[in-house]
Structure 1
Amino acid sequence: METEVPSKLLTTLSHAADIVRGHDFIQIYSHYDADGVSAASIIAQTLLREGKEFRATLFTTLNDYNMDIIRNTKAECIIITDLGASYIDQLDAMKNDIVVLDHHTIISEANRICYANPHLYGIDGMTSGCGATMALLFSVTMNEKNWDLVQIAFAGIAGDRQHINGLSGLNTYLLEQGVKRGYIEQMPGSLIPAGDLMTQLYLTTDPYIRGVSGNEEGVSKLLDDAGIDHGKSYMDLTEEEKRKLSSLIAIKLTEQGMLEQSMSEIARARYFLKGFNMDAEYLSSVLNSCGRSGFGGMGISAGMGDAKSIEMGAKLMRDSNKDVVLNMVELDKTGLNQRKHFQWFDSSDSGFTGMLCGIAMQCIGDPNKPTIGMNRSKEPVNLSSRGMWIQLDRGINLAVAMREACNAAGGDGGGHRIAAGGSVPSENVELFLDKLDEILERQLSSSM
């Protein structure tokens, strides 16, 4: 491998590869979102090519309950991807051979286990290297012939939205190698969704367009106003039609309060995966839908290139996208609950907490306040938070805020500065909300 990857990281990855080579069976644990499923797919394919037996398990989060599952595994060798940063001390205390490939905020460094995280090498794991990035670097350390798996890594990069302001750090290295080796093609972005316009404008939540998303009549009127035939797809549009439709969408987004920066993020570059014959964001959505619908095995198979699993995952994605957009329409009607330093909503009836949180933050929320989503349908209460770059510039750090507020309320939390999650006992939700307001006020005051 070349020098774009820090030498200390290469040393850690080489150690990880040696550990795995010494075992015949490996237990994989990963997160259930697009990045986690992508990372698990890369590891699974790598182990398969090495002739190793393995089992993969996906978690919605890594908490004390799931940590007990890891502790009780019979496997002598464990690989954890897109999880683990908050539990390094406990993993260190185990006797198993453990490799952790994570990118979340560093809580502690490892003493015994093999731990690779961009933050350990001066690279921002929020923007410049995700779980799938780390899994891919491990994979090509095992065998240079695994560079074709860079396509799966881009599904993870897209899933964690590390491409929206342009690639950086380790992800740039992956793109350079992917393009050079003929696996990836970079394409210009647009505010207009790809595919059949009547269908995709109805389903779009990236961006969520008030009066159009989830509204067939609104889609028809938008296309009529742009002078576009209802049967057209994005690829059928002339340059003039693209200009008209993009302008109309931009006007609607401006009217609903979206920042210009957010619109630029939506019109980001796209990455075409030649081996999958699809855009990285499409594959990311397929894998995400599988993981979040409880079909993690199918998601991992889809990431490994199984055509039937991709087809079934795509159906899950279409059904999921319709549910998400209709729930987003309802949230838009209801509005967000306002606290002094953040806004929040309850998604207990839908279960799409993290997805709705991100959409609400970008498309309908006050851009000056982080957005919190909570799901009370199970114990403990599941929490998601999303911020914006302008909030980070003012001192907001959701990784710290969610960790401290959840801990104060008897739960756990963590993640990235711009997106974090957690859980708390249901009886302590109000305590969590109060603590979060206090912590955000402290963060804002200390940065002034």
Structure 2
Amino acid sequence: MNAPVPELEARAARCAARLREADDLLLTSHIDADGLTSAGVATTALERAGIAHDVAFEKQLDRSAIERYAEAGYDTVFFTDYGSGQLDVITEYDAFDPVVADHHQPADAETEYHVNPLLEGLDGGSELSGAGAAYCVARALGAEDERVDNRDLAALAVVGAVGDMQTVEGELVGANAGIVEEGVDAGVLAVGKDLAVFGTQTRALPKLLAYASDVPIPGITGDRNGALRFLDGLDADCREDGEWKTWAELTVEDRRTVVSALVQRAIRTGVDPEEVESLVGTTYTLTEEEPGTELRDASEFSTLLNATARYERADVGLAVCTGDRGEALREAHELLREHRRTLATGVNVVREVGVTRAEHVQWFHVGDRLPETVVGIVAGMAMGEDDVDAGVPVIAFANKEAADAEDVEGEAVKVSMRGTPRLVERGLDLSAVAREASRAVGGDGGGHEVAAGATVPKGREEAFVAAADAAVGDQLET
């Protein structure tokens, strides 16, 4: 077997060996798209290897969760998409052997069974996701059986990377690119250049263009009637039996016609040339999924998964990852509809509570008006609002549920932070900001350069903002 990520081959082999030796194994993972695909990759590989295991999910891996695992009698716990940052706590317990496949910043502690790109000089924010780390272990698990190489799981690993915002200038790079190649070779992925907007498989064309906000085009973006007029003016077959087609249903020639007209409109209306170029990007198609469904496109698949666990149904997301195209997929679609309604509400909530500007950051607090599990997404969406400066990191606060606030004294607040790739290029690292600012107020945090989170005591939000503002200022001024 050729290793998908040669730098991690030895680590993955050690992890696989320990998993094969486990008598009582728990697989535990995060609840976002990367965490769900990590669990999907891991549980499928374990099942193929004949390794019995239980599965658990956590919004946040804290001491109380780790203590539960230690008391449950497992001799091995397999952590995916988290665990590295909590190794200092995990290693306090000798009740189980930890196996970790993660990509977040490791704590100052060690375990023999640890796959993380950062340990080998790879970027955990852009070169390998949690699902990618789990994929490395999955390939190692399949190494002993020539009938099972697990390369088909590359499709899920790519969904995880895309869902974790790991694309660089529109495409996956580094170790992620190596996994893409394996997926293409296995016949489960296709890579191409196409219109780089969300919803190409499922949204009717007017909605697709009106909702495409990454590159705002005057007269089309946010203007359904404008999108209708634009499409009606094209020499392209955009309807069938009176109904608007989706992008996936267009012929190659008609797609070229639409893209060319979009580019011309963008240039004519003064859109920045760099943004115009990003209208076309790399697409990742899951070739074994049905055309015209969310599962066919990596970005739409990841959004569907995000909609399951964020509403306490990680079991549904995992079932979809492992191939359930019946009841689980129907439930996922209903959760996605609910998710979209919540996000639409979220944008209005941000408008109502208002965004406060500090020197180097901006912030808002939604209190109990939105679930803490979606406030990070809403923070990202808010960066497209007129009253929000897209060139400044945004911090969002939401009250945590009492049962989830055990990691700090008293009531707690969830913090979500979002930046942009351009800010990262200037030196922004929100992971470091989250850790520094949260610890300054008695909380805990971490994440990635462009997106991070924390939990802090209620009443310490403004102190957190002050610490984060100073940290961001130091990063961007150096």
If the length of structure 1 is used for normalisation, what is the TM-score? 0.89
Residue 374 (structure 1) shift: 1.2
The residue that corresponds to 1:142 in the other structure is 141
Residue 321 (structure 1) shift: 2.2
The residue that corresponds to 2:320 in the other structure is 302
Within 5 Å, give how 1:72-111 maps onto structure 2: 72-95=71-94, 96-110=96-110
Q: Does 1:321 align with 2:353?
A: no
CA distance 1:414–1:343, shift in 2 (3 Å): same
CA distance 1:249–1:377, shift in 2 (3 Å): farther
Do 1:191 and 1:246's aligned partners in 2 also have CA atoms closer than 8 Å? no
Do 1:338 and 1:344's aligned partners in 2 also have CA atoms closer than 8 Å? yes
The residue that corresponds to 2:67 in the other structure is 68
1:434 aligned residue (466, 475, 478): 466
Moved more, 182-191 or 285-294: 182-191
Q: Which amino acid aligns with 1:158?
A: V
SS of the aligned residue for 1:2 comes to: coil
SS of the aligned residue for 2:194 comes to: coil
Do 1:206 and 1:359's aligned partners in 2 also have CA atoms closer than 8 Å? no
Give the whole-Å Cα distance in 1 for the aligned partners of 2:312 and 2:286: 25
The residue that corresponds to 1:269 in the other structure is 282
Residue 343 (structure 1) shift: 1.1
1:163 aligned residue (163, 167, 171): 167
The residue that corresponds to 1:44 in the other structure is 43
SS of the aligned residue for 1:53 comes to: coil
The residue that corresponds to 1:420 in the other structure is 452
Give the whole-Å Cα distance in 2 for the aligned partners of 1:327 and 1:164: 27
CA distance 1:249–1:109, shift in 2 (3 Å): farther
Moved more, 279-288 or 10-19: 279-288
Structure 1 residue ranges without an equivalent (≥5): none
Q: Deviations over 1:391-411 (max 9, x none)?
A: 223332211111010111111
The residue that corresponds to 2:19 in the other structure is 20
Q: Which amino acid aligns with 1:108?
A: D
Give the whole-Å Cα distance in 2 for the aligned partners of 1:39 and 1:341: 35
Give the whole-Å Cα distance in 1 for the aligned partners of 2:341 and 2:219: 15
Residue 70 (structure 1) shift: 3.3
Q: Deviations over 1:193-233 (max 9, x none)?
A: 413124445665656889977x7xx3133221342667232
Q: How many residues align?
A: 437
Give the whole-Å Cα distance in 2 for the aligned partners of 1:250 and 1:331: 31
CA distance 1:332–1:101, shift in 2 (3 Å): same
Do 2:353 and 2:365's aligned partners in 1 also have CA atoms closer than 8 Å? no
Do 1:408 and 1:432's aligned partners in 2 also have CA atoms closer than 8 Å? yes
Give the whole-Å Cα distance in 2 for the aligned partners of 1:372 and 1:181: 41
Structure 2 residue ranges without an equivalent (≥5): 234-238, 291-295, 402-410
Q: Which amino acid aligns with 1:59?
A: E
1:360 aligned residue (382, 387, 404): 382
Within 5 Å, give how 1:15-414 maps onto structure 2: 15-95=14-94, 96-110=96-110, 112-144=111-143, 145=148, 146-165=150-169, 166-192=171-197, 193-194=199-200, 195=202, 196-201=204-209, 218-227=223-232, 231-234=244-247, 235-236=249-250, 238=254, 239-245=256-262, 248=265, 254=271, 267-277=280-290, 278-308=296-326, 309-328=328-347, 331=350, 336-348=355-367, 349-351=369-371, 352-361=374-383, 365-376=388-399, 378=401, 379-414=411-446
Instruction: Tell me the C-alpha RMSD between the 2 structures.
Output: 2.7
Give the whole-Å Cα distance in 2 for the aligned partners of 1:253 and 1:138: 48
Do 1:91 and 1:113's aligned partners in 2 also have CA atoms closer than 8 Å? no
CA distance 1:415–1:285, shift in 2 (3 Å): same
Higher relative contact order (CA 8 A, sep 6+): 1
Do 1:81 and 1:101's aligned partners in 2 also have CA atoms closer than 8 Å? yes
Give the whole-Å Cα distance in 2 for the aligned partners of 1:301 and 1:104: 25
Residue 170 (structure 1) shift: 1.2
The residue that corresponds to 2:404 in the other structure is none
CA distance 1:245–1:211, shift in 2 (3 Å): closer
Residue 247 (structure 1) shift: 5.1
Do 1:35 and 1:131's aligned partners in 2 also have CA atoms closer than 8 Å? yes
